[in-house]
Amino acid sequence: MRITGGRLLGRQIRCPAGTIRPAMDKMRESVFAIIQEGLPGAAFLDLFSGSGLIGLEAWSRGAASVVLVEKDAGKRQVLLANAALAEGCAQVRIMPAERYLKFAAGGPFDFIFLDPPFPYRFKAQLLGMVGESRLLAEGGMAIMHHPKEDALPKETPALAQTDLRAYGRSLVSFYKRRQAPDCNHGPH
């Protein structure tokens, strides 16, 4: 696996043992072309990070900080070694993504990338958790990679789908945080 753009262009990333589904180069290049304008200086959260490839790609392309969340403790050493490529700008958290969304004190993040295992059945609920958390910045974007068979909602109470792209047998859904209603204006 290699980084497809930015300051780490072409750099090989170690792949941990066990089950991992590395994001396709073409899909990663396309996703990062879509979000590139917002990356410089951004805070980026990579949930279900596996090797950390997506988060490191974000840092390589200009994100200021990255948090890599992976529940499989067996991937810790490889994930830490890969995170070191980000020159102190990447933190590793070994815990379930759902727990991180509920209890983490970090953020807010400009981008939250979710790449749960394809058999994971709670993708819509996970998206709702992202919207309910304080981790996604106002105007921030949540991005989920999922199989075509798993239809996600067009909106949640806090998120609205802004784009949907197909890559082979998978989709990438883009969501923006809805603007909170302005209670200071309007009729009294």
Going by pLDDT thresholds of 50, 70 and 90, the confidence category of residue 78 is: very high
Instruction: Answer yes or no: is 31 within a domain.
Output: no
| Number of domains the chain is built from | 1
Question: How much is the average pLDDT of 5-20?
Answer: 85
Residue 39 has pLDDT above 70, yes or no: yes
Question: How much is the average pLDDT of 90-115?
Answer: 94
User: Minimal CA–CA distance to 93: which of 65, 74, 69?
Assistant: 69
Instruction: Answer yes or no: is 70 within a domain.
Output: yes
Going by pLDDT thresholds of 50, 70 and 90, the confidence category of residue 159 is: very high
Instruction: Answer yes or no: is 33 within a domain.
Output: no
Instruction: Answer yes or no: is 23 within a domain.
Output: no
Other CB atoms within a 10 A radius of the CB of residue 184 amount to 5
User: For residues 155, 156, 158 and 159, what is the CA-based torsion angle, rounded to 10 degrees?
Assistant: -30
Q: Are 69 and 48 in contact (CB under 8 A)?
A: yes
Q: Range of 129's domain?
A: 6-17+41-177
Secondary structure of residue 56 in the 3-state scheme: helix
How far is Cα 188 from Cα 173, in angstroms, rounded to an integer? Answer: 39
Instruction: Answer yes or no: is 149 within a domain.
Output: yes
Question: How much is the average pLDDT of 83-97?
Answer: 96
Instruction: Answer yes or no: is 28 within a domain.
Output: no
Helix axes 76-83, 53-60, angle to 10 degrees: 10
Residue 79 has pLDDT above 70, yes or no: yes
Residue 187 has pLDDT above 60, yes or no: no
Question: How much is the average pLDDT of 25-31?
Answer: 91
Going by pLDDT thresholds of 50, 70 and 90, the confidence category of residue 51 is: very high
Model pLDDT, residue 188: 46
More confident residue, 25 or 35: 35
CATH number (domain holding residue 159) = 3.40.50.150
Question: How much is the average pLDDT of 101-117?
Answer: 93
pLDDT averaged over the chain? 91
The encoded tokens of residue 151 equal 């239809």
Percent with pLDDT over 70 in the chain: 92
Model pLDDT, residue 18: 65
Model pLDDT, residue 24: 78
